[in-house]
Amino acid sequence: MSDSLFFSTSKQLRTISQKNNIDADMLEAILPPQRVIEVSIPLQRDNGKIEIVKGYRSQHNNKRGPYKGGIRFHESVSEDEVISLSLWMSLKCALANIPFGGAKGGVVIDPKTLSEKELKLLSEGYTRLIFDVIGPLKDVPAPDVNTNPKIIEWMMNEYISIAREKGPIQKDIYAAFTGKPVSQNGLPVREIATGFGGVIVLMELLQKLRMEKKGKNIAVQGFGNVGFNFSKFAEQNGLNVISVSDSKGAIINNNNKPLDIDLVMECKRKQGYLAGCYCVGGVCDLRKGREITNEDLLGLPVDILVPAALEKVINEKNMKNIKAKIIVEMANGPITPAAYEYLTKKGVIIVPDILSNSGGVIASHIEWKQNMESSRYAYEESLAELKNTLTQAVETVWQTSQEKNIPLREAALVVALLRLVG
Ligand code: NAD
């Protein structure tokens, strides 16, 4: 029990609630998931054999609106994990003040072991088994780890075909899933939303902290959707991204010159990895930089460190090497509780994941609204709404942190919990 993720998440929330006078009974009432579904998906493999694959959907809380949360395909998915992540989604949506509750789905599979046909069959099979409990006003799934707009399109199409068998199709049916391809009623801004949102949050906080924005040095771990978009918008806002990494390692330019983010991405796409993509001022040149490890990146003497890849990368083993003054958590849970305690005591400002990476779910809310209204949000309009929602969230967290004299992470959780129990 004590090594359960849900147990440790609940424990953390109990401590924060007690410290901040949140009613214990009311907290206990919102901690457990309202419903957890376990499904057994029959999957016909290409060799004709049928395998049973386990899946889950945890619907944590719908007090503030339909359940909302991604579906991940991973061999380590467990009931405990989806329940904890669904609780986290309730908190994230409450903090962003969008009318969604929290949910999370998972299928216990390594998708790399499946052919495209098998992956499609699995996505459709999972949708069939959760069909009755999802829908635009019930529960709205989205992509997560190892799932993407293509998989969501398969799920959406399966959902529509089952709905059609049951009766006339409602106009708002596309609001049953978010993270759809743009050509299938998706939202163009969704692609950049999480990284873009992280930079909005950072810029707002730098202003509140009265810190100079221009010229701050940044290192970004992870150069996927989130890390790339964060780096790109940070660059556009005058910050210097001097080091980025992928799973194979990190690159840094000589003399800490800022990387040219678009060129680095173009170089990575061409060759398949980052090493050698030392691109400065419009030119990539092997003599301009060097490779370092992901651990080296975490310990760089930068102003801002951005873990945007995996969970628990900053932990008891490496926390003493961290030199950054600000850490922006773009990945989910990149700092372990022990490292969090240590770094906070040292005065490092930690921008919590439920605030800094909430741009994705805020964009999902805009996608959901456009499908509910059978309308289309223009790109600029979506960006403006995303920015406005995030700015308000930062303001509330900042005010709470100042009034109660507590760190940003604790303030974010207090705001979210009060909205959930209230
Ligand atoms: P992604 O798969 O597009 O990119 C992940 C990146 O991390 C890749 O560049 C990969 O090479 C790198 N990576 C993998 N292992 C690594 C390692 N050991 N060391 C360093 N880098 C490594 O994923 P993403 O969508 O960018 O998501 C990144 C993180 O952000 C995840 O924790 C995800 O849960 C979180 N997140 C994503 C979104 C979103 O909208 N995509 C929203 C909220 C949170």
Taking 90 as the threshold, does the pLDDT of residue 400 lie above it? yes
pLDDT per position as a tens digit, 65-79: 999 999 999 999 999
Backbone φ and ψ of 312, nearest 5°: 55, 25
* Strand order across the 139-143 sheet: 35-44, 50-61, 102-108, 67-74, 139-143
Nearest-CA residue for ligand 1 atom 22 is 247
* Residues 258-295 as b or e (16 or more Cβ within 10 Å = b): bbbbebbbebbeeeeebbbbbbbeeebeeebbeebebe
Taking 60 as the threshold, does the pLDDT of residue 319 lie above it? yes
Domain ranges of the chain: 31-186, 192-353
Cβ atoms of 279 and 263 within 8 Å: the answer is yes
Pull the structure tokens for residue 95.
């903090």
Work out the angle at residue 231's Cα, subtended by the Cα atoms of residues 186 and 361, and round it to the nearest 5 degrees: 35
Please tell us whether the domain made up of 192-353 is placed in CATH 3.40.50.720.
yes
The answer to whether 49 is a known catalytic residue is no
Nearest CA-CA partner of 223 in 250, 192, 256: 250
Amino acid identity at 328? V
Q: Which ligand 1 atom sits closest to the C-alpha of 353?
A: 44
Work out the angle at residue 76's Cα, subtended by the Cα atoms of residues 71 and 78, and round it to the nearest 5 degrees: 70
When pLDDT is averaged across residues 161-171 and rounded to a whole number, the result is 94
| Contact 308 CB / ligand 1 (< 6 Å) | yes
Quote the pLDDT of residue 117: 98
pLDDT per position as a tens digit, 196-228: 999 999 999 999 999 998 889 999 999 999 999
Exactly one of 11, 19, 68, 104 is catalytic; name it: 104
Taking 70 as the threshold, does the pLDDT of residue 50 lie above it? yes
**How far, in Å, CA of 343 to CA of 151, rounded?**
39
Its pTM stands at 0.96
In the numeric block, the tokens 């902290």 are attached to: 209
**How far, in Å, CA of 101 to CA of 63, rounded?**
6
Backbone φ and ψ of 69, nearest 5°: 170, 160
Span from the CA of 47 to the centroid of ligand 1 (angstroms) = 33
- The CATH homologous superfamily for domain 31-186 is Leucine Dehydrogenase, chain A, domain 1 (3.40.50.10860)
